[in-house]
C-alpha cells in the first residue's frame, strides 16, 4: 500500500489504517454508518457548498441526537465550547434588539452548527487516534483530487483566479484551509525524515503549496505557506532539511512567477497595496471594508448591529465620521475580518467572548501537543486554529457559509487531537 511511503514510527499510516479498520468494525451499526459518512466529507466538499453544508449539518443533528439518547453532556464543560455558546447567545440577543431582527437572528442562529461540528469530531467521530489517521488519508485523497482539478483548469483555461469545480473563486479554501491539518503533518514529516517518507511527504506538501498559489487566492496561499513553515519548525525539525524544503518552495514559486506574470502582479505590488494595516488610503477597498466595520462598531459599541447586519447598515454610515479614522468606507457583505466583524455586529462584549473562544480553541489544540509531543499530528494541531484565526488577515464572513465550512472542518480535526478533557470529567 502507498501509505507506507509516508509512514514513520511516530505516525504509521499503514499500521493505523489496518488497526483503524479493526476498531471501525467493532463500532455499533449506527456509529459505523455515521463514521463512513464522516470519511466521505472530503469528497462531498469537492461537489459544492450545499452538499457540504448538508453533510456538516447532518453530523451536528446526529451528534445531538446521540447526546440526548445517551445523556452525555460532560463535553460542554470545555471552555472553548462554553465561550462558543456564550457568543452564540449574545449574538442572538444583538439580533433581536437590532433594526432588522428577523434577518440577523436567522444569520446568527445557524452559526452554532460550526462549533457543534467541532464537538462532534472531538467527542464522537474522531476520538480514536487510528480513526483520525484514517480521516487524514481521506483528506489526502481529496486534496490530491482537488490539486489535479485545479492543474487541469490551469492548463485548459489559464486564469488568474481559478474556479473549478465550484464555478466560484473559492477552491483555494479547500486546499489551504480544509486540508491544513494534513499539510502541517506532511511538512513536519518532510523536515524530520531523511527517508522515503520525508521525500514523499515533502513532494505532496509542495504540490499543494504550488496549486494554492495558482488559485490566485492570496490570503489562502499565505495561510498555507506560513502555516507550513510554522509546522515545520515545531516538531523535531532537521534544519538542513527545513532549509532545503524552503529553498525548493522558493524555486518552484519563482518558476510559476516567471511563467505567469499575472500572478506575479497579483502576489506582488497589488498585494502590498491591498494590505489594510499598510495602506489606509481611499483607494484601498480592503481597508475600506475594515473601516466600515470599525465605524459601525463605534456607533453601537456595546452589543453591535446583529449578526451579518453590517451588510445592510454600512451604506447609511456617515462617510465623514469618525474624523480621526483615515480612508473611505467600502460597503460589501461583511467587514472581511473576524475581529472587526464581531466588534461591529456583536459589540465589544461579543468581541471579547469571541477572542476567548479563539484562544481556548488554540490552547486546547496546544494541550494535545503537551500530552503527546512525539506525534506530529498532535504537535502541529495548534497551528491550524492559530493560522485560521490569526487576526491580521482578510477573512470571509464570520457568520457566512462557504468559507466557514472549510475553516471549521479543519478546526474540528485539530481540536479532536485533544482528548484530555475526558480525564477531567
pLDDT of residue 190: 95
What is the C-alpha to C-alpha distance for residues 300 and 296, in angstroms, rounded to an integer? 6
Q: How far is CA 185 from the centre of its chain?
A: 15
pLDDT < 70 positions in the chain: 1, 424-425
Burial of 34 (0-12, 13-18, 19+ CB in 10 A): buried
Q: Looking at residue 135, what is its pLDDT? A: 98
Give the pLDDT confidence score for residue 23 in this predicted structure. Answer: 97
Question: CA nearest 238: which of 206, 203, 275, 202?
Answer: 202
- Is 28 in a helix, a strand, or coil? coil
User: How many Cα atoms sit within 13 Å of 165 on the Cβ side?
Assistant: 16
pLDDT, position 64: 98
Give me the helices (H) in 260-401, please.
Answer: 261-267, 269-274, 285-299, 310-313, 338-371, 376-379, 383-388
Residue 424: the pLDDT is: 58
Nearest to 398 by CA among 315, 314, 339, 350: 339
| C-beta separation of 346 from 90 below 8 A | yes
Three cell numbers, residue 324? 480621526
Is residue 73 within 8 Å of 124, Cβ to Cβ? Answer: no
Question: Does residue 98 form part of some domain?
Answer: yes
Which domain, by its residues, includes 141?
11-272+339-424
Q: What is the pLDDT of residue 265?
A: 85
> What local confidence, expressed as pLDDT, does residue 355 receive?
98
Is there a domain that residue 287 lies in? no
Residue 242, in any domain of the structure: yes
In angstroms, the CA 335 to CA 317 distance is: 14
- Eight-class DSSP state of 295: H
Q: How far apart (Å, rounded) are the C-alpha atoms in residues 276 and 310?
A: 18
Report if residue 208 sits inside a domain.
yes
Locus of grid cell 465550547: 81
- C-alpha grid cell, residue 286: 480592503
Residue 297 lies in a domain: no
Q: Which three cell numbers stand for residue 68?
A: 440526548
Is the residue at 255 inside a domain? yes
Classify residue 288: in a domain, yes or no.
Answer: no
- B/e letters for 292-311, b = 16+ CB within 10 Å, e = fewer, are bbbbbbebbeebbbbbbbbb
Q: Does residue 307 lie within any of the structural domains?
A: no
Asked if residue 95 lies in contact with residue 108, where contact means CB atoms within 8 angstroms, the answer is yes
User: How many independent structural domains does the chain possess?
Assistant: 1
Decide if 177 contacts 205 (C-beta within 8 A): no
Which three-class secondary structure state does DSSP give residue 411? helix
Amino acid at each position: 500500500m502507498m501509505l507506507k511511503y509516508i509512514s514513520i514510527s511516530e505516525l504509521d499510516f499503514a499500521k493505523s489504517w489496518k488497526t483503524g479498520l479493526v476498531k471501525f468494525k467493532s463500532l455499533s451499526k449506527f456509529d459505523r454508518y455515521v463514521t463512513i459518512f464522516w470519511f466521505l466529507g472530503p469528497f462531498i466538499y469537492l461537489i459544492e457548498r450545499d452538499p457540504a453544508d448538508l453533510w456538516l449539518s447532518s453530523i451536528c443533528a446526529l451528534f445531538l441526537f446521540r447526546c440526548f439518547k445517551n445523556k452525555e453532556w460532560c463535553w460542554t464543560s470545555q471552555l472553548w465550547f462554553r465561550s462558543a455558546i456564550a457568543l452564540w447567545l449574545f449574538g442572538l440577543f444583538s439580533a433581536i434588539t437590532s433594526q432588522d431582527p428577523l434577518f440577523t437572528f436567522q444569520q446568527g442562529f445557524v452559526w452554532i452548527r460550526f462549533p457543534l461540528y467541532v464537538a462532534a469530531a472531538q467527542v464522537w467521530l474522531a476520538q480514536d487516534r487510528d480513526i483520525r489517521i484514517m480521516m487524514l488519508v481521506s483528506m489526502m485523497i481529496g486534496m490530491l483530487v482537488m490539486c489535479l482539478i485545479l492543474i487541469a483548469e490551469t492548463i485548459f483555461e489559464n486564469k488568474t483566479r481559478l474556479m473549478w469545480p465550484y464555478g466560484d473563486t473559492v477552491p483555494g479554501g479547500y486546499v489551504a484551509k480544509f486540508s491544513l491539518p494534513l499539510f502541517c503533518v506532511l511538512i513536519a514529516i518532510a523536515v524530520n525524515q531523511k527517508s522515503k517518507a520525508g521525500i514523499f511527504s515533502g513532494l505532496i506538501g509542495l504540490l499543494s503549496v504550488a496549486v494554492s498559489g495558482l488559485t490566485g487566492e492570496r490570503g489562502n496561499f499565505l495561510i498555507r505557506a506560513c502555516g507550513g513553515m510554522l509546522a515545520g519548525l515545531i516538531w523535531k525539525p532537521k534544519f538542513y532539511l527545513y532549509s532545503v524544503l524552503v529553498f525548493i518552495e522558493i524555486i518552484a514559486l519563482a518558476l510559476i512567477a516567471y511563467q505567469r506574470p499575472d500572478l506575479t502582479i497579483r502576489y506582488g505590488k497589488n498585494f502590498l497595496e491591498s494590505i489594510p494595516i499598510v495602506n489606509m488610503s481611499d483607494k484601498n477597498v480592503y481597508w475600506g471594508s475594515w473601516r466600515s466595520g470599525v465605524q459601525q462598531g463605534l456607533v453601537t459599541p456595546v452589543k453591535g448591529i446583529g449578526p451579518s447586519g453590517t451588510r445592510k447598515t454600512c451604506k447609511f454610515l456617515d462617510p465623514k465620521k469618525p474624523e480621526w479614522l483615515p480612508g473611505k468606507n467600502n460597503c460589501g457583505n461583511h467587514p472581511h475580518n473576524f475581529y472587526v466583524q464581531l466588534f461591529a455586529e456583536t459589540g465589544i462584549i461579543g468581541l471579547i467572548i469571541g477572542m476567548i473562544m479563539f484562544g481556548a480553541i488554540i490552547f486546547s489544540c496546544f494541550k494535545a501537543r503537551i500530552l503527546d509531543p512525539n506525534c506530529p499530528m498532535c504537535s502541529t494541531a495548534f497551528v491550524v486554529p492559530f493560522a485560521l484565526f490569526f487576526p491580521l488577515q482578510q477573512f470571509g464572513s464570520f457568520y457566512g457559509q462557504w468559507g466557514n465550512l472549510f475553516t471549521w472542518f479543519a478546526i474540528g480535526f485539530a481540536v479532536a487531537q485533544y482528548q484530555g478533557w475526558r480525564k477531567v470529567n
